[in-house]
Structure 1
């Protein structure tokens, strides 16, 4: 009697052009829109918040740093909850809490209350980034993963752009409180559509909430040299981005630009460049490799920082375009590499990346504002260039380590 040959089961994970892929992509795109629109809803309004409460730029910048800091602190615990209760459940609950707080933000009676609400909002949003990338790693075929994560990051860029543009024009007519209220309502719509569209997970396997197992997974990830480098790269890229976009509104309200709030909000249309660069990250890695793509992203960002020093509005805008393109490309490449590198505990691996990334955002917002207060825009640019030098150095260390590994295997 002949042996029965076993036929491997077909791969049921989602792939571009296949059933459910578009719904999944659009749902997570909307989640990305809501996340960044809420997370940075006060960033374009900082000059108005400073005037409204009678505080300095560095004080007002805490409304951004509190949100990103809250996310950085809670992303790992939220990722653990997603391992136990499911990615879709945690993402839905996170958005529900975040949009509820978003509707309370316009009524903050003082800067202190506003900062607390923003911290709570950031903590709630912590359930989105790591859970989304873990969901994609489980539900999408590996060859399509970079593209799928790029689309989620593109949603981040659209959320960041639309939030700032909308708030800029609304605030010019009705003040910053009405502006953040409008963003809250937009986020409510995105959250409802997200929950209706996202396909139920088919490959999720519930894990344990046992603290010892969680700490063991975290130690495994932190012991991986490649993951450590990717975490540092994400933090440094976001230090640049957080600093630049926290301070740019102050610079453009001053001489020689003296732009009105609505026009300053429209400056954030350059986020569309980030949408394109993030969504094409997969092709960039295919042509240049991961490290080549990171070199290109870092170099593009540095060129933009230098251009932004000019007292010419067209050159400043071109600088912002390059900064945005380089940042989103680098972020999409690094975050997708984390999902590919982690062999287990993907939610924790992604959570550690997101934690480092948003710590970078908080540091960039605070240090960038302090540097601007001390030395003007050139101080903020100096902070950004130091961060990019770190990105290039870490990537170079990765290149050297890879060559040593190849030579060792050859012998």
Structure 2
């Protein structure tokens, strides 16, 4: 019997994973709104500065392929807590970077240690939650991701404007150390975890079994597309808003990320709608909202740009919430490896598209970014069509686990 909504354990696990998701994404994205500042401080191009995001996400993606196997042998709670604490300390160390290469090295190491929470958190939820509460629980966890991403961007933007980006990363790292303590004190011990012997030689065959599942491949593709489009837009929107005709300050650009609160709403709400009405129709709705938001950012009016960003965030977090919880239902066994692969594709999308989008932005301006996202949405709709033909739209475990 899994943990059910409304119980004490559900509240504790939700609080812990909310805090963990908050910390992880605050640290992961704290440099995104200040990429323009990095170009000035280190005298580099925007595309090169975007590597401060891309190297972290690619390091995280690669590490996620292995950290699931480690958690199978060592347990979920220990690795997740160590991941949060180490990443927090590394963020404080950013302030001592004397060169962009040093900052990149620290970001690579941070990506490696950050992998410990998101890959395992999804597995923890799929193991411990009652199937009828999984969508809501995953939505709450992802809402922590959304608020953490929002807070990290807003705090770093404000503190960079008031002081400098080094002060901003020191403050965020310190706050995340506190979040690590909250996580350790509140996360319930695993009840359905079965310890397995660590056998890395068997990891590749286990991963391969997940890669030959067409349903899972479709979900991995959706993760790639959502995250690729999402990070690409937010990596370069700051250049648009800081420049003419808007000429916003770094504080105002950072404050626009308050729209992330919509992500915390959509991840929970759309997760519940998917549990009730089916995943495919709600996923298609998320893709539609995602594209509509991107198109609105092409308007000249600042009001419409902000409205577009809001819709874009709403669609992204809703779609990610559905896809990530869906993986745990489709995979028959070795859920940690299935979830690790989902996040691998998710963050590879972030890395490749986040930096590659800079080339499109350089050549075609903002229309190049919108065009890339539109292509991603079309591919996403096609993947949903494949899932429907495979009979993967039903909410029942018996249908989805085949």
The equivalences for 1:3-402 within 5 A come to: 11=1, 13-402=2-391
CA distance in 2, matches of 1:239, 1:188: 29
Which runs of 5 or more structure 1 residues have no equivalent in the other structure? 1-10
CA distance in 2, matches of 1:81, 1:29: 23
Deviations 1:62-91 (Å, cap 9, x if unpaired)?
000011111111011111101110111110
Aligned residues of 2:69 and 2:200 also touching (Cα < 8 A): no
CA distance in 2, matches of 1:365, 1:180: 21
| C-alpha deviation, 1:123, in angstroms | 1.0
What is the number of residues matched between the two proteins?
395
Alignment partner of 2:193: what SS? coil
CA distance in 1, matches of 2:27, 2:267: 20
Aligned residues of 1:57 and 1:373 also touching (Cα < 8 A): no
Deviations 1:279-327 (Å, cap 9, x if unpaired)?
1123221454111111111111111111110111010011101110111
Compute the TM-score of the two structures, normalised by the length of structure 2.
0.96
43 and 398 in structure 1: CA distance in 2 versus 1, 3 angstrom threshold: same
Alignment partner of 1:275: what SS? helix
Which runs of 5 or more structure 2 residues have no equivalent in the other structure? none
Greater Rg by CA: 1
Alignment partner of 1:259: what SS? coil
Alignment partner of 2:162: what SS? helix
Deviations 1:242-283 (Å, cap 9, x if unpaired)?
101111111100111110000000010010001000011232
CA distance in 2, matches of 1:95, 1:114: 19
Deviations 1:110-144 (Å, cap 9, x if unpaired)?
11111111111011111111110111111111110
Aligned residues of 1:241 and 1:364 also touching (Cα < 8 A): no
CA distance in 1, matches of 2:311, 2:270: 15
Deviations 1:15-69 (Å, cap 9, x if unpaired)?
1111221111000000000110001110011111111111111011000001111
CA distance in 2, matches of 1:273, 1:364: 23
| C-alpha deviation, 1:343, in angstroms | 1.6
Aligned residues of 1:233 and 1:394 also touching (Cα < 8 A): yes
Alignment partner of 1:143: what SS? coil
Alignment partner of 1:196: what SS? helix
Q: Corresponding residue for 1:6?
A: none
Compute the TM-score of the two structures, normalised by the length of structure 1.
0.93
CA distance in 2, matches of 1:19, 1:181: 35
| C-alpha deviation, 1:363, in angstroms | 1.6
| C-alpha deviation, 1:94, in angstroms | 1.0
Deviations 1:231-250 (Å, cap 9, x if unpaired)?
01100010110101111111
CA distance in 2, matches of 1:99, 1:244: 26
CA distance in 2, matches of 1:63, 1:47: 11
Deviations 1:130-184 (Å, cap 9, x if unpaired)?
1101111111111101111111111000000001111111110101111111111
Aligned residues of 1:146 and 1:336 also touching (Cα < 8 A): yes
